[in-house]
Structure 1
Amino acid sequence: MKIKAGIVGGAGYTGGEMLRLLINHPAVEIVFVHSNSNAGNLISDVHTDLLGDTELRFTAQLSQEIDVLFLCVGHGDARKFLDANEIARGIKIIDLSQDFRLKANAGTDWVYGLPELNREQIIKADYIANPGCFATCIQLALLPLAAKGLLNSEVHINATTGSTGAGQSLAKTSHFSWRNNNLSVYKAFEHQHLNEIGESLVKLDAGFDQTINFIPQRGDFTRGILAAVYLESDLSEAEAIVLYENYYAGHVFTHVSKANIDLKQVVNTNKGLVHVEKHGNKLFIVSIIDNLLKGASGQAVQNMNLIFGLEEGTGLRLKASAF
């Protein structure tokens, strides 16, 4: 018996990635793909790379005959959608927006869907708030330290994301002529993902009260995030590597590399790679993910696998764009 899935917001970047994953997932049947603006159109007319892979069409209708609903909509729209549409009890919901990530918005119903932090809670959850892309990448760099109470100084982060992180709607900073051969900083020290990062670190280390200095950048590439993180630490490099390897030993998608890492190792995969170095009294961590997969749709499918008792990597053993 296959898991029956519905997708809301299937025309955007995360919706497209969700389709690509679920069409090829051995345990899933897509029942409907909702889009008001594209209702009646073939999915392959919008996501042209799916020509020959599916004859599904977008629909404006919802079906309750599903096991899981993925909300691939903009921030603020998930809550509006759920307020406007009654979803039958028993249907699992995985929301890729930011609407339910923070405790103040999640109540007791929603579980923060970072498997490297909350795997046991995810397995039992009905409603998952999928983490943000920057938040995922940065947390993978910091969780092992927080778990041992070793975040004892200010944290400094410079992280660069690809253009797909801005969504599909056109804006000045997403036009090719602006983005190409360009690099810029945005939301310095004020990015919205800081709040969910902080809540996760406090969950592991209740006494954590250090400042997180986060400088996000827009990169001249389409996919991926590289976060360069440093802080003061008494750990030696060897001790830090062992700490990270032990923390991630049971996690199928996050791996510690003793060699330096680059984005092409993770683009088009659900992997997170982490590299640790020591420079003087500074611990330096590099963390990389694909923002649309481990940072969005891939992680959502990983959460679905956990909820329905599948092997965690099912449908997510993807080939990196290594060159």
Structure 2
Amino acid sequence: MSKLVKAGIVGGAGYTAGELVRLLLHHPQVEIGAVVSSTQAGQPLHSVHDDLLGDTDLTFASELTGDEDVVFLCLGHGNSREWLLKTHLPPSTKVIDLSNDFRLAADRDVAGRHFVYGLPELNREQIRTADSIANPGCFASAIQLALLPLAAAGQLHDAVHVSAITGSTGAGRGLVETTGYTWRTGNISTYKTFTHQHLGEIGETLVGLQTSFAKPVRFIPYRGNFTRGIFASVYTTCELLVPEVQELYADYYRDAPFTIVSEKEIHLKQVVNTNKCLLHVAKHDDQVLITSALDNLLKGASGQAIQNMNLMFGLEETAGLGIKASFF
């Protein structure tokens, strides 16, 4: 099959860029052009992403080739907007940004581009016709997927409580004390309680679906002593009966290839190294509890970015994402 899409990656030395390269190398309809890194130009990709040894002879570039169909921005938060303002991209080149620069409605217009919020289960049709995508945050993806059906049905009537834990890769490649092995192993801690940056995009989505929703989302994030994955427990008051809630979720995600509602309780190993988000719904007295699990680097970042790319170019939504869980 001939390659239909030429992809470039900017910010190629980080975790999300490494995941993009791994996935795109095996995508049946994508050719990787330049993988740009300001610090690694001229070095082979496997000098940084050393698991790529034997998979590709690509080297890091100092700039794009100029004929990319799509560019993935894997820059640090705050740098994508600056890069777009100083870089001339042809209007026909699509952009998928993995930072938080364009996730909020007030920030989505820059350099003649309008960014669409790239959660396929929410905005699939808008993504199909977009020229630029703001890829959602990892926690935001897990939490929103847990709540979309309730908001769409106007069933959010009280504060939403979230407790969610993430692996160390969620903090990026740069080594700091709280990502180091000796600190993280056998340890657990909270951070950014009630103030996490993903709350903004979560709030906009919920209000966009249910304009009457004016209650807080009280979010406590945890650092886990594992490398990848997010497990979120989300609960709020709900008057629906158990069968009604289950039917609501089954109907909402009926056509979502990567979001699966499980009848049994879920766990993290089911989703690590996949683009899936698993959900489980239960009722306890008047509280509905939704547990949500996904891989923070895939459905929470690079896998979802490729899912968005597939939609933008009219490809099969699941193309290049048929990967198995690392269960054992």
What is the TM-score when the length of structure 2 is the normalising length?
0.97
2:246 corresponds to which residue? 241
Query: Separation in 2 of the partners of 1:63 and 1:201?
Result: 40
2:11 corresponds to which residue? 9
Query: Separation in 2 of the partners of 1:198 and 1:205?
Result: 10
Deviation at 1:89, TM superposition (A): 1.3
1:100 corresponds to which residue? 102
Query: Separation in 1 of the partners of 2:211 and 2:130?
Result: 23
Q: Secondary structure at the match of 2:178?
A: helix
Q: Secondary structure at the match of 2:311?
A: helix
2:178 corresponds to which residue? 173
Deviation at 1:64, TM superposition (A): 1.4
Give, as a single letter, the amino acid of the residue that structure 2 aligns with 1:118: N
Deviation at 1:45, TM superposition (A): 1.4
Q: For each residue in 1:35-92, what CA deviation from the matched residue of structure 2 results, as whole angstroms up to 9, or x when unmatched? A: 0100000001111111111000001122211100000111001111112211111000
Given candidates 84, 87, 90, the residue that maps to 1:85 is 87
1:48 corresponds to which residue? 50
Give, as a single letter, the amino acid of the residue that structure 2 aligns with 1:227: A
Q: Secondary structure at the match of 1:109?
A: strand
Matched, 1:318 2:320: no
Give, as a single letter, the amino acid of the residue that structure 1 aligns with 2:324: K
Given candidates 219, 223, 226, the residue that maps to 1:221 is 226
Q: Secondary structure at the match of 1:156?
A: strand
Deviation at 1:312, TM superposition (A): 0.3
2:217 corresponds to which residue? 212
Query: Separation in 2 of the partners of 1:211 and 1:88?
Result: 41
Matched, 1:193 2:195: no
Query: Separation in 2 of the partners of 1:217 and 1:200?
Result: 23
Give, as a single letter, the amino acid of the residue that structure 2 aligns with 1:123: R
Q: For each residue in 1:158-197, what CA deviation from the matched residue of structure 2 results, as whole angstroms up to 9, or x when unmatched? A: 0000000000011111111101100000000000100000
Give, as a single letter, the amino acid of the residue that structure 2 aligns with 1:130: N
1:157 corresponds to which residue? 162
1:280 corresponds to which residue? 285
Deviation at 1:115, TM superposition (A): 0.1
Q: Secondary structure at the match of 1:241?
A: helix
Matched, 1:145 2:150: yes
Deviation at 1:13, TM superposition (A): 0.4
Flag as ranges the 4+ runs of structure 1 deviating above 3 A: none
Q: Secondary structure at the match of 2:234?
A: strand
Query: Separation in 2 of the partners of 1:36 and 1:211?
Result: 41
Given candidates 106, 110, 119, the residue that maps to 1:114 is 119
Matched, 1:299 2:301: no
What is the TM-score when the length of structure 1 is the normalising length?
0.99
Matched, 1:271 2:276: yes
Query: Separation in 2 of the partners of 1:64 and 1:109?
Result: 21
Query: Separation in 2 of the partners of 1:74 and 1:144?
Result: 32
Output the aligned Cα RMSD: 0.8
Query: Separation in 2 of the partners of 1:7 and 1:75?
Result: 16
Runs of 5+ in structure 1 lacking a partner?
none
Deviation at 1:2, TM superposition (A): 2.2
Q: Secondary structure at the match of 2:103?
A: coil
Residue-pair matches, total: 323
Task: Provide the identity percentage.
Answer: 58
Query: Separation in 2 of the partners of 1:235 and 1:20?
Result: 43
Runs of 5+ in structure 2 lacking a partner?
none
Give, as a single letter, the amino acid of the residue that structure 1 aligns with 2:83: F
Deviation at 1:247, TM superposition (A): 0.2
Query: Separation in 2 of the partners of 1:193 and 1:83?
Result: 24
Q: Which moved more, 1:131-140 or 1:203-212?
A: 203-212
Give, as a single letter, the amino acid of the residue that structure 1 aligns with 2:197: Q
Q: Secondary structure at the match of 1:58?
A: coil
Deviation at 1:244, TM superposition (A): 0.3
Give, as a single letter, the amino acid of the residue that structure 2 aligns with 1:113: G
Matched, 1:37 2:42: no
Given candidates 55, 59, 62, the residue that maps to 1:57 is 59
